[in-house]
Chains A and B, each alone.
Chain A
Amino acid sequence: MQYLPNIFFALALATGIGFFTMNIRKLSRNIKLGKDVNRKDRKSERFKNMIMIALGQSKMVKRPFSGFLHIVVYVGFIIINIEVLEIIIDGLFGTHRIFQGVLGNNLYGFLIGTFEVLAALVFVSVIIFWLRRNVSNIKRFLSKEMKGWPKNDGNNILYFEMVLMTLFLVMNATDTPFQEASVGNPISQFLAPLFNGFSTEVLHLIERTSWWIHILGILIFLNYLYYSKHLHILLAFPNTYFANLNPKGQFTNLESVTNEVKLMMDPSADPYATLETGAEDEVPEKFGASDVTDLNWVQLLNAYTCTECGRCTSSCPANLTGKELSPRKIMMDTRDRLEEVGRNIDKNGGKFVDDGKQLLNDYIKPEELWACTSCNACVEECPVNIDPLSIIMDMRRYLVMEESAAPQELNMMMTNVENNGAMWQYSQQDRLNWAKEE
Chain B
Amino acid sequence: MIVKTMADFFAEGKQPEILFWVGSAGSYDDRAKKITKAFVKILNQANVDFAVLGTEESSTGDAAKRAGNEFLFQMQAMMNIEVLNGYEVKKIVTCDPHSFNTLKNEYPSLGGKYEVFHHTQFIQNLITEGRLKINDATLKGKRITFHDPCYLGRANDIYESPRDIIKRLGVNLTEMKRSKETALCCGAGGAQMFKEPEKGDKDINVLRTEDALATKPNVIATGCPYCNTMMTDGIKFKEKEAEVEVKDIAELIAEANKL
Contact = CB atoms under 8 A, between A and B. Distances in A.
B192 A373 contact: yes
A320 B55 contact: no
B101 A410 contact: no
B67 A376 contact: no
Contacts of B175: none
B245 interface: no
A260 to B, nearest CB: 7
B213 interface: no
B58 interface: yes
B201 A322 contact: yes
A434 B69 contact: no
Contact of B155 (A248, A265, A393, A434): A248
Interface string A287-324: 11000000000000000000000000001011011111
Nearest to B109: A253
A399 interface: yes
Interface size class of B (residues with CB under 8 A): 35 or more
Interface string A371-384: 11111110111000
Nearest to A264: B75
Nearest to B157: A247
B67 A373 contact: no
A320 B101 contact: no
Contacts of A288: 68, 70
Contact of B190 (A372, A409, A433, A436): A372
Contacts of B63: 413, 417, 423
A253 B199 CA distance: 31
Interface centre among B61, B104, B195 (most CB of A within 10 A): B195
B154 A377 contact: yes
B215 interface: no
A41 to B, nearest CB: 14
Interface stretch (B21-29, B131-139, B163-171, B246-254): B21-29
Interface size class of A (residues with CB under 8 A): 35 or more
B5 A432 contact: yes
Contacts of B233: none
B194 A413 contact: yes
Interface stretch (A122-130, A213-221, A269-277, A400-408): A400-408
Contacts of A393: 66, 68
Interface string B176-193: 000001101101111111
B184 A257 contact: no
A424 B23 CA distance: 12
A30 B73 CA distance: 32
B1 interface: yes
Contact of B185 (A260, A317, A407, A429): A317
B22 A431 contact: yes
Contacts of A375: 150, 154, 184-185, 189-190
A424 B24 contact: yes
B78 A323 contact: no
A282 interface: no
A432 B72 contact: no
A251 interface: yes
A105 to B, nearest CB: 50
A405 to B, nearest CB: 9
Contacts of A418: 72, 75
A397 interface: yes
Given A318-B204, A410-B191, A417-B61, A397 B68 contact: yes
B36 interface: yes
A229 interface: no
Nearest to B32: A434
Contacts of B3: 432, 435
Contact of B200 (A318, A413, A431): A318
A169 to B, nearest CB: 39
B37 A434 contact: yes
B101 A250 contact: yes
A393 B67 CA distance: 8
A432 B197 CA distance: 31
A254 interface: yes
A423 B24 contact: yes
A421 B59 CA distance: 5
Contact of B189 (A258, A324, A374): A374
A38 interface: no
A433 B54 CA distance: 9
Given A249-B151, A322-B200, A371-B197, A317 B187 contact: yes
A287 B151 contact: no
Nearest to B196: A409
B75 A265 contact: yes
B195 A422 contact: no
Contact of A432 (B29, B52, B64, B195): B52
Given A253-B70, A375-B190, A400-B68, A380 B154 contact: yes
A402 B174 CA distance: 47
Interface string A360-399: 0000000100111111110111000000000001001111
Contacts of A396: 67-68
Interface of A: 246-251, 253-254, 257-258, 260-262, 264-265, 287-288, 315, 317-318, 320-325, 367, 370-377, 379-381, 393, 396-401, 406-407, 409-410, 412-414, 417-418, 421-424, 426, 428-438
Given A322-B201, A373-B204, A431-B22, 13 more contacts: A257-B70, A257-B74, A261-B78, A372-B190, A373-B185, A373-B189, A396-B67, A401-B71, A407-B195, A414-B64, A424-B24, A431-B53, A435-B3
21 contacts: A248-B154, A254-B70, A257-B70, A258-B110, A261-B78, A321-B202, A322-B202, A374-B189, A374-B190, A393-B66, A400-B67, A409-B196, A410-B191, A413-B194, A417-B61, A417-B64, A418-B75, A423-B59, A430-B28, A431-B54, A434-B28
